[in-house]
Amino acid sequence: MRVHDRTSSNLVGRVVDLTTEGMRIVSEQPVTAADALQLKMTLPVGLGAAEVAFDARAVWSGPDINPDFFDTGLKIDAISDEGARSLERVMRLSSFRG
């Protein structure tokens, strides 16, 4: 799933781990820890909404195992109830993929 900046629509990164409280993304550019971000995430087809909007902040960031990328931990600060339910559906469906 791709995560974009809501204002510019620029790609921020791709989700590699997801919880109801936050996510880990991999990106080509570093995301500064403590950055407040207004984001939207593209959801897999079949979950109702095509994307979910949320506010988050980077709580940690560092180099990925691939030196061309960066890992960042995002904490979700604000999300609608429907957005939270969408994330829960994604997590529930993903847990069944071996």
Sequence spans of domains, the chain: 2-87
Spatial CA neighbour of 13 closest among 48, 61, 49, 45: 61
The whole-number pLDDT of residue 96 equals 41
Q: Domain 2-87 carries which CATH code?
A: 2.40.10.220
Q: pTM score, two decimals?
A: 0.86
pLDDT (tens digit, 0 to 9) for every residue of the chain, 98 residues total? 899 999 999 999 999 999 889 999 999 998 886 668 999 998 877 766 788 999 999 999 999 999 999 999 999 999 999 999 888 888 887 764 43
